[in-house]
Amino acid sequence: MTAFDIITHQLVNGIVLGSFYALVALGYTMVFGVVKLLNFAHGELYMIGGFAGFIALSFLAPILGPGWFGVAVSMIFAMLAVGFLGVIIERVAYAPMLAAPRLSILITALAVSLVLQNGVLTLTKGQYTPFGAELGFGGINLGNLFIKEKELVLVGTAAALMLALEFFVSRTQYGRAMRAVSVDKDMCRLMGINVNAVIAVTFFLGSALAAAAGTMAGAFYGSLWYFSGFLIGLKAFTAAVIGGIGSIPGAMLGGLILGLLESFGTQIPGIGSEWKDVFSFSVLILVLVLKPTGLLGKSEQERM
């Protein structure tokens, strides 16, 4: 295999991996931008999204089949279910804590993460669950590079969801309200904006995107595990920080950059696949040292 073949192969791997990171990172950055909360339970919503997609596919497969159409419809059901779960979590666990010290709400987020993770652990007894999708082995050949059909569909779906979110935030009334609430909640209340509803929509959208990533990951890799949300949650947080937490384009860019860095980083002499997590978090430390606000982030002045 030539050096060009290695580069193109790792480029595809990095884009696929970055698509997962970007979708989950969007939830982190949206919630932080509006509520100033690091929702460390977000990785578990990704994991539950995978299981929700699996349950939906189990019911729909006899009717729609376990192929692409069945997975697509299952993903929509998972997005709706986990989106509403995110709103319930916000109302029950976070809304009463918004006026509390930041450390208190952070501990609450960690507690919600453990509740979700251990709840799924109890239900699945810690076993891997086969997803059951049948996506085939087709693809296209570009010279010595073979791109799987499921890689193309995954990246295309992720790109479509991210563009739809960007359109929603920049062009719709609720999107403008979200941007206003992120700047000054009190002024928005005086202007008649329902801040609680805006926060609920933010949690719904972020959780739904995490569920979409979880369902696609389950279909792509073929199995689910109760602990799968922990590491990708940290990676997505890393991606959000690299791009500039609070910035939606930054989350997309950060996810893609992190996926490419991981993919190409494993090709560096002395850094194999077992070192890729160390490499990723080293990049996070480097970004925080050199540019604490991230690549597209902006420094903010605290209002008195």
Per-residue pLDDT at 290: 85
Flag whether pLDDT at 269 surpasses 70: no
Burial profile 176-213: b = 16 or more Cβ within 10 angstroms, e = fewer: ebbebbbeebeebeeeebebeebbbbbbbbbbbbbbbb
User: What's the CA gap between 149 and 135, in Å, rounded?
Assistant: 8
Give yes or no for a contact between 79 and 211, defined as CB atoms under 8 angstroms apart.
yes
Flag whether pLDDT at 87 surpasses 80: yes
Task: Indicate if the alpha-carbon torsion angle 92, 95, 99, 104 is positive or negative.
Answer: positive
Q: What is the arithmetic mean of pLDDT over 71-83?
A: 96
Q: Which of 71, 84, 73 is nearest to 45 (CA)?
A: 84
Q: Which of 1-10, 53-62, 145-154, 204-213 has the lowest mean pLDDT?
A: 1-10
Interval 110-138: pLDDT, tens: 999 999 999 999 999 999 999 988 887 78
Flag whether pLDDT at 108 surpasses 90: yes
Give yes or no for a contact between 226 and 46, defined as CB atoms under 8 angstroms apart.
no
Give yes or no for a contact between 141 and 66, defined as CB atoms under 8 angstroms apart.
no
What's the first-to-final CA gap in the chain, in angstroms?
60
Angle made by CA atoms 240, 246, 250, in degrees to the nearest 5: 50
Give yes or no for a contact between 204 and 42, defined as CB atoms under 8 angstroms apart.
no
Length of the chain: 304
Per-residue pLDDT at 4: 75
Per-residue pLDDT at 198: 93
Q: Is 99 exposed, middle or buried (0-12, 13-18, 19+ CB in 10 A)?
A: exposed
Residue at token pair 């560096």: 268
User: What's the CA gap between 242 and 261, in Å, rounded?
Assistant: 12
Residue at token pair 């993903």: 75
- Percentage of residues in the chain with pLDDT exceeding 70? 95
In terms of DSSP bridges, do strands 129-130 and 139-142 run parallel, antiparallel, or are they unpaired?
A: unpaired
Instruction: Tell me the sheet residues that pair with 141.
Output: 146
